[in-house]
Structure 1
Amino acid sequence: MDLMFNSGAKGAAGATGAAQGDLIKDTTTATFVADVIEMSQKVPVIVSFWALGSGTCKQLGPILEKVVREARGAVRLVKVDVDKNQDLAMQLRIQSVPTVYAFKGGRPVDAFAGQQSEGQLKQFVQTLTAGGNAGPTIDDYIAEARRVLEEGDPQTAAGIFQQILQEAPDNAPAMAGLLRCLMAAGQSEQAEAMLGRLAPEMARHAEIAAVATALELARHAGGVGEAAELRRRLAADAGDHQARYDLALAYYAGGEVEAAVDELLELFRRNRAWNEDAARKQLVKIFEVLGFSHPLAKSGRARLSTLLFS
């Protein structure tokens, strides 16, 4: 199938009527899905990760807010204090501040780190909102390929992702999709080899970082033993934390992700400091792989937060 691409992004029809007071807001880990993932289905959302002690953040922030206000509702700006939302910063692999992501259609489509001039920021916004009703875009084809993959056809999905990459070889979401197709087809070694050949900037993209985490989880889960034997050990000794941790990995390897989350949460409840906070760290990795909007990730983060503050 020949695919024709329009590299412009979809327009934000109807967004220009947004109230000025809604254009810029602060968010937290708890409200990120509503403020960013869900809102970006309607209008592009720029997410600024900042920290109080950063001089560069103090310089960038006012300029970014000015540019967003001048866009008159074509985009929204959501700000995240990384010191107060460390789990969220970890899940998006924020390595320095300021870091700015652009979300569209529920997923990140662009990003930059460090200081930018006002002109560069205006171009960033213009690129995000350009295109109007110009027909299907690369983002549309990526969404279609993801749907095909979710329906259990990694071969067809891989073909779409490969054609996207022929048109846009630096498209990180398409590369992440292709890597997920390889994993779904049982070709994790090939996926790891491809991942190792990526340019550092692409490898740092949030979606590709999530694939790297998924590969890491699969690799560790492969050698923990049979779930039945691990359940027997737990039945004999409910305090066998290593058995519970290994059982969670075995469940994850077998596709029983909810059961894996349950066991890790139970381990965290019993002994949160065990093995250098291993249960929480593994949960954060699973949530990263699932994605912010996944129901299990949302409920799991809520349960983990309850345990953290209990």
Structure 2
Amino acid sequence: MLGKLGSRLGIGLLKLFAILPYGLVARFGDGLGWLLYQIPSSRKRVVHTNLRLCFPEWSDEKREEIAGLHFRHAIRSYVERSFQWFASAKKFEKIVEVDSEVDLTDPNMPPTLLLGLHFVGIEAGSMAINYALGRTCGSLYQPFSNPEFEAAAKAGRSRFGAELASRADSARVVLRWLREKKPVMLGADMDYGMRNSTFVPFFGVPACTLTAVGRLAKVGHAQVLPFIGEVLPNYKGYRLKVFKPWDNYPTGDDEQDARRMNAFLEEQIPRIPEQYYWVHKRFKTRPPGEPSVY
């Protein structure tokens, strides 16, 4: 009972934030992130471990700076779900600018996989793509374990035309969507375990990486458009950055295709290192015989 009450209070708070000025909500989330970073926690240790593995050349001072900024961004992104799920379309449109190298409104767009990369703005970026497309878009997502938050998230994420499906149903549903000529949005740059994955380098560290993107693109004859939701400075909102389709992809080699995604991330993360999702245990699954790094 307490869990249900707490969930309803949390959702109610997000709905309240949605009617407040965006700058105020963003600053609150930023301050809350700063405060929580001062408290020792397992997630704080995960951030430092990831940064130490990926950027061994950085000084301790730089890692500390980026870790603190990232924690603030991560907590702020949760608070800003208020605008993404509950604010009016007009208010949402005002906080997102679109920078796309392709015409998202092209009615003749070929079968397309929209590859969302896990920067802290991925939620805003994903919803901005739904909004910009102006038509139904298939979207895979990881369900919440809490039923109240799951219902709120599904309603919020689908309000601009997204048709949602759990990752557990991915291959069958994605291929159906592609046959129906719907763009399909998915994320693949997280550690989901060894099923349908391979180990390829991520900043020189073996990382358990999904091979599903290349295989789905091959079977569905689809192009792959990576996109990033970037947080703009000075609490101005987000930029949805959509890149050109990857050339010569897929190759048919699962390992090479998985490496392509990680190599692309290695190009993009140094631009805004504090915004990549370092609170995730990216190296949780280790190659056989290797000890845990967390």
TM over 0.5, yes or no?
no
Name which one, 1 or 2, has greater alpha-carbon Rg: 1
Report 1 or 2 for greater relative contact order, CA contacts < 8 Å, sequence distance ≥ 6. Answer: 2
More helix per residue: 1
TM-score category, normalised to shorter length = under 0.3
